[in-house]
Amino acid sequence: MPFEHGDRRDRVRAALAGLDADAVLVTRLVNVYYLTGFTGSNGALLILAGGGACLATDGRYRTQSAAQAPDVDRVIDRAVAGALAKRAVLAGVGRLAFEAHDVTVEQHGLLLAAAEPASLVSLGRVVEELRMVKDDVEVALLRAACAIADRALADVLPHIAPGRTERAVAAELEARMRAYGGDGAAFETICAAGPNSAVPHHRPTDRVIAAGDFVTLDFGARLAGYHSDMTRTVVVGRAADWQREIYPLVAAAQVAGRAALAVGADVQAVDAAARDMIVTAGYGEQFPHGLGHGVGLEIHEAPTLGTTATGVLAASVPVTVEPGVYLPGRGGVRIEDTLVVRPNGPELLTTAPRELREL
């Protein structure tokens, strides 16, 4: 088994002492996967502080759950959270920690009733915080997912030309990522040409690429549950003066942001390292999003690198660095890499060239 699920559950147990809780009920599916290896679409996990864990799922996943999570008890019941709450009470649990950020008001009412007479306390984002720091197997999967995206981009760049549509380029990128072993796109591939490149999360359309366009490609591959994330911006034909002004600015800010990634670095300071350059150049208002985000089992996960984010970076935390400058009606530039924070400087996982390319 590549992942140490038992060790991960022990780390959750260690957090329970501070909450004075006897057990934790994990309902976020991505967290259930992280703690057990179970990939079904309906599941929850009960971890008892004193030892022992139980996975609940429904009859569709009876065989799959036994194979994927052989080291935990199982309950087969469609109402996974309620079934585990009842089991917790039978096990003598008096205070049950639950993932308040994942539970609707309606689900909370059902959970309260099922857990009677035990009381509920919020676990907070304990599992998400544990997930921030990746082990070597996780980083290897991210590295492989990033390499797939790099190879796909190298194939597709020569085919970006006047007359092709955003949709066609995005589809080709996704097809190449699958051809190189990706399980699929990490998220809906962005191909934004001309004025559309000034929209940070533009969705590909039938717009035909024209000479003089900035073309922004923001995409990634998914591999064994892990996501890569990369953005490159190119110019079709010769770059105009305004393009020659903002591209090097974004590129320099991106270098500064990457250089600021260090063990112990404040996440706001990392954002500022890149943002200050863009603000100084007079384009602060044209950089309307955070510098980056954690990436792993989710495309966007903790930590956040941004002006209102809090916390410091630890070793082995993968993050993106993606400053942008967007000029409405004209076009925009974003350059994004996925990196891992390391004691001796960040490790780059996406390596496609970053200098201004005129296709």
Summarize as ranges the residues that interact with Zn ion (CB under 5 A).
218, 229, 320, 336
Angle at alpha carbon of residue 202, lines to 199 and 207, rounded to 5°: 105
Q: Max Cα separation, the chain? A: 72
Closest separation in Å from C-beta 299 to Zn ion: 7
Helix, strand or coil for residue 153?
helix
Nearest-approach distance from CB 167 to Zn ion, in angstroms: 18
Residue closer to Zn ion by CB (options 213, 229) is: 229
Element (H, E) at 16: helix 5-19
* Phi and psi, residue 318, nearest 5°: -80, 135
Nearer to Zn ion, 86 or 258 (CB): 258
- Cα–Cα distance measured from residue 218 to residue 228, given in angstroms and rounded to the nearest whole number: 10
172 or 218: whose CB is closer to Zn ion? 218
We find the least distance from the C-beta atom of residue 229 to Zn ion, in angstroms, to be: 4
Q: Identify the DSSP state of 93.
A: -
Counting Cα atoms < 13 Å in the Cβ hemisphere of 211 gives 2
- In 3D space, the residue among 104, 102, 92 whose CA is nearest the CA of residue 45 turns out to be 102
Angstrom distance (rounded) from CA 305 to CA 139: 19
In the complex, the smallest distance separating the C-beta of residue 191 from Zn ion, rounded to whole angstroms, is 12
We find the least distance from the C-beta atom of residue 165 to Zn ion, in angstroms, to be 21
Distance CA 52, CA 2 (A): 21
CB nearer Zn ion, residue 15 or residue 215 = 215
CB of 336 to Zn ion, least distance (A): 5
Closest CA to 235 of 250, 256, 254: 250
Please identify, using beta-carbon distances, which residue of 3 and 187 lies nearer to Zn ion.
Answer: 187
- Taking the least distance from each CB to Zn ion, the nearer of 25 and 335 is 335
Nearer to Zn ion, 48 or 173 (CB): 173
Least gap, CB of 256 to Zn ion (angstroms): 17
**Residue 285 CB neighbour total at 10 angstroms:** 10
